[in-house]
Structure 1
Amino acid sequence: MERFKKLPPTTPLKARQVTLVTNHFRLNPTGRTVFRYDVAMSHTRMVKGTEKIRDLCKGDRDDAAILERNRRCLALMDAAFAAAPFASTSAAVIYDNSKTLIAAEELDMRQCACIRLEGGTIPPGFINHPRFKEGYFTIQITPTSSNHRLVINDLEAALAGDEANPDRSLRQFLEILTNQETLKKNSFMAFYGNLYSREAADQRKLREARILKSGMSKGARIIGSSSDLVAALVLDSKKATFFDDTNKNGLAGNIRELLNRAPNDAPSRVHINDFDRPDIVKYIKDLRVYCLNKPDNTFQISGLTREPLRNVFFDMGGEQLSVLEYHQRDGARLAYSHWPAVIVQSPRGRNYFPIEVLGVCEGQRVPISKQTPGQMKVVVNDCAVLPNVRFAEIHQMLNALNLASTTPNRYLQAFGVTIDVRPMKITAYRRQAPKIVYGGNIKVQYDDVKGSWFSSGPYVLPAKIPKWFVVYDGIDQRTVQQFVGVLQQAMKDKRMEVAQPKYMEMKVAGMDAFLSSIVKSLKPGERSPFVLFTDANEDSHAFLKLQEAKHQIVTQHLRTKTVRECIEPRKKLTVGNILNKLNCKNFGLNHLVAPDHEKNYLQKADVMVLGYDVSHPEPQSPQDRRLGIPPSTPSVVGFSFNGGQNPEMFIGDYQFCPPRQERVDILESRIQWMLKVFNDHRKKLPERIVVVRDGVSEGQLDMVLQHEMASIRRGAAMIKEGYKPKFLLVVATKRHQKRFFIDKSNGEVDNSMPLTVIDHTVVRPDVTEFFMQSHKAIKGTAKVPAYTVLQNELGMSLDEIQAFLMGLCFEHQIVSSPISIPEPVYQADQWASRGHSNVLAFFRVMDIEDPEDPSKKMINRYLKPVEDPLPGRPKFEYDWTRISKLLCYRGRRLEKTRANA
């Protein structure tokens, strides 16, 4: 990427300035040189006369395996230092417990190039290990191929090179250095920049065999301006849900808790029935466990047997032996022989274990896919702490790292680094809010404190709904009609033209056939009717939206509880939000936005704004990969752009891609579709294209520039010969560690206010970066999104860019307040989520017997052969292009409306 000019910060009005305190702590490195080394560790032993070498720095990637591997590496490094002291003191060496070591002095390669540990030099924890008690260990410490010598106060050198892919050597050093005390004490578990406390006082027991652990997210940054560079530690408190590894009864105790059984219930009365089984399997699949009598023997669970433990047999020396009897012979006292056995799939075949001989390995985070909405809500509430609490937690974590306590940090001393324990303060400012305009040119007043406005007047573009259906289940028609009456009056007030609906009582299972019948009755080119469906079934939403995508009929799903609430006079706000959604879904627009620098904004109709986001599935389990099972959940790319009837009307779609593919390779064709739809409504192509990419990591910025933007440009060039629009490219992200608080005069802190902007002092010095809070934090501590400007062919000033993006945050249309990120990015995320939900529902619906081949499932029809499959990889994969055509909106009846409102 070519270097480009960093835009200067804006010049705000003094009346709108505000002092903020940050979570940035200044690091003060001296002019010392440190030395970076690569670390390799291996274990060698003889197996059947053959030397077998195992790389100890590699292995399984699940949380528990990473923690155990890091623990072993640290123990071996300490043993290597004891056997061959390769530095003047142990404090002169810092180690990330994996492949990187940094020394305060140049190491003697004769001492550390190859250290062999065997016999009495092997750490105590390895002597009785089934795999490690034999053979020897080799530790190799060698200079890194680049940046071996690092001057730790040369911040300019740390910024040299590519802005989109800067060198991380100095930041890596500072991150390892500030972690070192906790890693040595084993007081925290480390996961890629996040650390979670092992202390019982820092965790809270949750229901359903889970634990909420407290910790921190941290990282080092180079910030400031080119003339005033600063190294800073950024520290935020963090919490995460873990599988319970503290139950004294091990995995069996966790299962009892999942079954909601009292401690005094006899084992013979505790059963895993067909109703409970799916939840138990979901909980234990891929969970790493250990044998209670052999703690070093760990493995991941593949599933549960259908048969009870007492009926599970295996071959032992030609004899059929029950798993129950085998473990009883080994001294196990088993009370749950009526429970199924745990299945462990290994390359050599299946193994079986009683649940009650297993314990849960420490430090396993619960993935989102294994948490119910109710569980997630509890965790979100726990994490949403007030600003003062979070600020105090940040300082507690600083002390936990021994960076602010009275006890000297020997590693900081050895490397000549100090830290300012008072967080950095900055002067930020608040922008002026855009003007909000409703139908009849009615302008409404934005409340500068509450961060919202009162919605009044008709819609700018009221929807016309000549035909609609109200379908209900689990609620009486009279109540539904009362609700519709309230809704119709509100529709009238907003100038919507809506016919009388037809009422039908029907379960969600009948919606497929019902929507199909509607489609058959439509005339060519006729607009989609609208279907409002209400029931109390939590699972019906996903099925209904799958049918919407399949049949291209606009739907709105409401819970019966919401319908009943809306009849009450005090629920006008809820009715208003529902109505806002209905208008947007049915080709309408609620309000217009007029920000500062309005001449650059959307109503000029020469600018297209594109937002896109990628939603990835969780990694496929090692067992499924070994079995050659093709991944059944794709990555989903969500898109949104202002291609609707009005220049401020954002619409969108999603598309499925091979799983875990971060780079978006479908942009070339998708930009052509967007430009075509834009041209259909504006009768011209946009001269300017603003691209807002949802958050990617710093290391992926080069990918966005070199691959994704190149695809967008190629696609645009194919639309029309000589067509060369100019681009503004901005990356927006909320997933970062930076926090900002209002510094109150009484020494306390509070949330920063809506419209707050930070564009100096704590931003990157090499790239145009700023933080902008458009919204008011309703719960917990405000998170201020970060924006990085990667390309600016439009020649806009930073003030103009901020005004443009702030305007987009007011374009949500559903609520009378700005959202936290620009609308096209927010919608793109919602489209990606909708695509993810639809594909999961599609796989559930198609998980039935194929009538043409009863040995297969219907979903198998969507498999295709893999071209040149790698050894051990699946020979078939799902045809995501074909599934996309079936479930996406492009080129179909609803492509020009906001169906996912």
Structure 2
Amino acid sequence: MSSITEFAKHPGPGRLGRLIKVRTNYFEITAFPSSKICHYDIIVTPEVPPALNRKVFRETENSLFGIRAVYDGRRNIYSASPFPFGDSYTSEVTMPDNMNNVGRSPRIFKIKIRKIAEIDMEEINRFLNGRGSISPNILAGIMALNILIHHKPSMEITKVGRNFYTNQGSRSLNEGVEVWQGYFQSIRLTPMKLMINIDLHATAFYESGSLIQILLRVFNKRSIEDFRIISDRDHQKLEKFLRNLKIYVTHENLNRRFRISKLTNTPASNTTFDDDDSNQTDVASYFQRIYNVQLQYPFLPCIVVRKTTYLPMEICNVVEGQHYIRKLNERQTADMIKYTCRPPQSRANIISQGTQILNYRQNEYMQQFGFRVSNEMDIIQARVLPPPTLHYHPSSRNSAFTPRNGSWNSRNKKVATGATLDSWACAVFGTVRDYPIGAVQKFIRELVTTCQDTGMNIPNKNPPIQHCNPQGGIENSLRQVWVRAGNSAKSKPQLILCILPNTGVPLYAEIKRVSDTVIGVASQCIQGSHMFSAIKQYCANVCLKINVKLGGINSFIDPSQMPLITQIPTIIMGASVTHPAQNTSIAAVTASVDAKASRYVAAIRVQTGKVEIICDLAEMVKELLKTFYQTCGRKPERILFYRSGFSECQFSIILENEIKAIKVVQKRHHTLFFPTDKKDSDRTGNCLPGTVVDATVVHPFEFNFYLKSHLSIQGTSHPTHYHVLLDENGFNADSLQTLTYNLCYTFARCTRAVSIVPPVYYAYLVCARAKFHSSGENWSDPDTSEGAGSASYAAVKIDLLKVMYFM
């Protein structure tokens, strides 16, 4: 028999930690087809979107001799038994006008069905029980089951992507937009059984109903009389909002839908056209004469459909369930976050309700396939790992201690290795009137005192201060400040402290572009509001960032608790890729350069195209290995590589194209855990930091585990999923899980354990910083800007790449 998996096999579950029970959003599949199921190819002509394909197929179902087949909306049909027509079937379907696409007359569709395969479902059972390896047949079977659980909801519930949405409990986001609750579902292979993973997802929809009422909500008006005069700007805003929206009309008994193309520039009373008798008339008069409808609001513009058909707004209703794909504004985004931020118990209850909404029990398609699902969430075993011992400088009060609940206080503690700050200056982006020199000096004194109390050495306590224009000329201003810093200290500048007037991105982006890629000096930005109300804790947090930017170490884990690193020279790497523009990708790899895994350096590459693979990984790793050797004086004998950003179906691509010692980190997944006992939860009701799951809902044979390492603040916390692709070191579960958890306490800019292993977190930060290195003060967020193209990125100065400038 061939190897049961191409990736690292699970070495067996871990044993360390306190045993607990948790509920998980997995539902056991108690029965599924054990015999063969039939796979058919279907071609629908003419080609139409999946939603209409499903309607065409539904009209055909009665011709399939009572067999309830399932359909993916494109080319694939699966049935529990063969169709009686043999290997091929051709038919025609006439779609009724009310089921057709918007604004069209009835259409005839040609359907051709052809049998292409039989899937042996028993092979899935053999695989789950360790008696066979993964195969194309098994993957085809899982795909068929996923289509089975999606088939009926796809015909009855609003679908966007892979998720299903209901307006039960929907909430307005204002301006004609509302948020709906959605459900994600997916078949998962787990040890000895199949399960369905169900999770929540929310997205925005256009509000439905009267177009007049939606007009009022878009502009936050009370009366339609306010629209007797519409400005050009408001006209453009409304037209942009309405374009491509589906509507239906109320003046005649037609269940016909139309799609809005634009608005007229003239009101209904002045919008003219030639009627059927070639007489010129206006829309208001036409509706009065033909339909006996006297318009209440003839001063409103008309809706234009089919290029030359004009409809008064007051006879139009918006069709329900239309996905809103434009960017939400700040208020809408905040309301969306409030809607989705559910405490664990509430989220668990809504997920459980999803089994009724997705309707597993009364699903005639599942019944025909002999497919049954438990209505109860699975209760599984987890463990809570003990936190590590943290070390600060020996002169600190209680210099070695064990944090509780994933966080700790740094009061009366000095950083493990304090950096020296001698050559620096302060750039104040604002006028002397807004930021008096005395107020700036007071803040600097407080910051210096805090930094020194925390263990840094700052001989130069009165750096030069220069007020700069925040509106432009940032590069020239920073150059001047850099020169003043060097002249004042008679040495190369180490840091520019920048006081910012607002939280806007363009100024911040330009400061980072200039300091990182032009001058080559670390920068630390401070909000002006914090400067005026500088409290000790805020200054202490700033000190953590400054210290590591200058090469210091804030704290470290007891070496005895990280034997994988301390026994032999080990380099820990983290990698991530981001896509800041349509034709550009940024790849970042960070690497530890000390035996404590506290100091990291970075390598960056800009790649053409929206690609996930790190194309120049070999050279990047070579750079980092060289820096490790220069810093430690030894070559690493072990590499631990954490890679983020991939889905499970892409694991083979990573293994083949990137590196042969790799662990994948997944933050975007749908697995959740809910404590069953209050003593096993934090104050928000989430699992405690250190909760690890490596059985029941993991892969049947591969080395993966879920770790919830951070203290929850609000909502329901996701654990992070770690999946080992290749292990040449022979780690067991305990050693790798403990190391990964302990590393989460070493994130340098806060005094709490973080949710994802720091090397990857640092790679995220490097990628995020690199987005600013293209446009500076002309920066706009390419992820949300329409029509964003590729950009030209400047390289970070070599000296900065050897310190944690990205903090």
Q: In 2, distance between residues paired with 1:754 and 1:266? A: 55
Q: Is the 8 A contact 1:31 1:154 kept in 2?
A: no
Q: In 1, distance between residues paired with 2:210 and 2:646? A: 42
Q: Is the 8 A contact 2:416 2:556 kept in 1?
A: yes
The within-5 A match list for 1:136-175 is 136-145=108-117, 147-151=118-122, 154=125, 156=127, 167-175=138-146
Q: In 2, distance between residues paired with 1:254 and 1:547? A: 46
The within-5 A match list for 1:727-742 is 728-742=661-675
Pick closer, same or farther for the CA change 1:162–1:840 going to 2, 3 Å: farther
The within-5 A match list for 1:304-453 is 363=321, 365-366=323-324, 370-403=327-360, 408-440=362-394, 443-449=399-405, 451-452=407-408
Amino acid in structure 1 at the alignment position of 2:139: R
Pick closer, same or farther for the CA change 1:87–1:438 going to 2, 3 Å: farther
The alpha-carbon deviation at position 340 of structure 1 amounts to 12
Q: Is the 8 A contact 2:406 2:753 kept in 1?
A: no
Deviations 1:457-512 (A, max 9, x none): 22122222222214142443333333222211111102212222222222322422
Aligned twin of 1:72? 52
Greater displacement, 548-557 / 817-826: 548-557
Partner residue of 1:101 out of 54, 57, 77? 77
Pick closer, same or farther for the CA change 1:309–1:510 going to 2, 3 Å: farther
Q: Is the 8 A contact 2:571 2:640 kept in 1?
A: yes
The alpha-carbon deviation at position 233 of structure 1 amounts to 0.9
Partner residue of 1:824 out of 759, 762, 767? 759
Amino acid in structure 2 at the alignment position of 1:173: A
The alpha-carbon deviation at position 395 of structure 1 amounts to 1.2
Give secondary structure in 2 for the equivalent of 1:6. Answer: coil
Q: Is the 8 A contact 2:28 2:373 kept in 1?
A: yes
Give secondary structure in 1 for the equivalent of 2:800. Answer: coil
Q: Does 1:558 align with 2:526?
A: yes
Amino acid in structure 1 at the alignment position of 2:61: F
Q: Is the 8 A contact 1:743 1:750 kept in 2?
A: no
Q: In 2, distance between residues paired with 1:557 and 1:789? A: 38
The alpha-carbon deviation at position 76 of structure 1 amounts to 0.7
Q: Is the 8 A contact 2:153 2:164 kept in 1?
A: no
The alpha-carbon deviation at position 834 of structure 1 amounts to 2.5
Deviations 1:528-562 (A, max 9, x none): 43222221352432333333334233222222222
Q: In 1, distance between residues paired with 2:227 and 2:109? A: 45
Q: Is the 8 A contact 1:446 1:453 kept in 2?
A: no
Aligned twin of 2:244? 288
Q: Is the 8 A contact 2:406 2:752 kept in 1?
A: no
Aligned twin of 2:160? 191
Pick closer, same or farther for the CA change 1:615–1:326 going to 2, 3 Å: farther
Aligned twin of 2:19? 17
Deviations 1:384-431 (A, max 9, x none): 211110111011111112236xxx433332211222222222221111
Q: In 2, distance between residues paired with 1:806 and 1:165? A: 36
Q: Does 1:248 align with 2:248?
A: no
The within-5 A match list for 1:864-883 is 883=792
Q: Is the 8 A contact 2:426 2:497 kept in 1?
A: yes
Aligned twin of 1:42? 44
- The RMSD of aligned alpha carbons is 4.2
TM-score by length of 2: 0.84
Q: In 2, distance between residues paired with 1:553 and 1:324? A: 71
Aligned twin of 1:715? none
Aligned twin of 1:88? 66
Aligned twin of 1:576? 540
Partner residue of 2:496 out of 509, 523, 530? 530
Pick closer, same or farther for the CA change 1:878–1:98 going to 2, 3 Å: closer
Pick closer, same or farther for the CA change 1:600–1:482 going to 2, 3 Å: same
Pick closer, same or farther for the CA change 1:170–1:574 going to 2, 3 Å: farther
Q: In 1, distance between residues paired with 2:111 and 2:634? A: 66
Q: Is the 8 A contact 1:643 1:681 kept in 2?
A: yes
Q: In 2, distance between residues paired with 1:615 and 1:363? A: 32
Pick closer, same or farther for the CA change 1:757–1:596 going to 2, 3 Å: farther
Q: Is the 8 A contact 2:427 2:466 kept in 1?
A: yes
TM-score by length of 1: 0.75
The alpha-carbon deviation at position 819 of structure 1 amounts to 0.1
Q: Does 1:507 align with 2:469?
A: yes
Give secondary structure in 2 for the equivalent of 1:3. Answer: coil
Pick closer, same or farther for the CA change 1:33–1:657 going to 2, 3 Å: same
The alpha-carbon deviation at position 790 of structure 1 amounts to 0.4
Q: Is the 8 A contact 1:611 1:824 kept in 2?
A: yes
Pick closer, same or farther for the CA change 1:300–1:809 going to 2, 3 Å: farther
Deviations 1:204-228 (A, max 9, x none): 101233211112121111101xxxx
Q: In 2, distance between residues paired with 1:639 and 1:492? A: 32
Give secondary structure in 1 for the equivalent of 2:801. Answer: coil
Give secondary structure in 1 for the equivalent of 2:194. Answer: strand
The alpha-carbon deviation at position 164 of structure 1 amounts to 11
Q: Is the 8 A contact 1:244 1:254 kept in 2?
A: no
Partner residue of 1:701 out of 651, 672, 680? 651
Pick closer, same or farther for the CA change 1:211–1:355 going to 2, 3 Å: farther
Q: Is the 8 A contact 1:592 1:811 kept in 2?
A: yes
Amino acid in structure 2 at the alignment position of 1:591: S
Q: In 2, distance between residues paired with 1:661 and 1:526? A: 39
Give secondary structure in 1 for the equivalent of 2:725. Answer: strand
Gaps of 5+ in 2: 250-254, 275-279
Aligned twin of 2:147? 176
Q: Is the 8 A contact 1:751 1:777 kept in 2?
A: yes
Pick closer, same or farther for the CA change 1:696–1:788 going to 2, 3 Å: same
Pick closer, same or farther for the CA change 1:160–1:656 going to 2, 3 Å: farther
Amino acid in structure 1 at the alignment position of 2:77: L
Aligned twin of 1:546? 513
Pick closer, same or farther for the CA change 1:280–1:536 going to 2, 3 Å: farther
Q: In 2, distance between residues paired with 1:531 and 1:452? A: 27
The alpha-carbon deviation at position 604 of structure 1 amounts to 6.1
Deviations 1:43-86 (A, max 9, x none): 3xxxxxxxxxx322xxxxxxxxxxxx33311211121123x2x2
Pick closer, same or farther for the CA change 1:265–1:832 going to 2, 3 Å: farther
Deviations 1:246-299 (A, max 9, x none): 25227xx656544443335521344354xx799779x749x6324655964447
Q: In 1, distance between residues paired with 2:235 and 2:630? A: 53
Aligned twin of 2:553? 589
Aligned twin of 1:895? 801
Q: Is the 8 A contact 1:109 1:142 kept in 2?
A: no
Aligned twin of 2:277? none
Amino acid in structure 1 at the alignment position of 2:553: L
Q: Is the 8 A contact 1:309 1:339 kept in 2?
A: yes
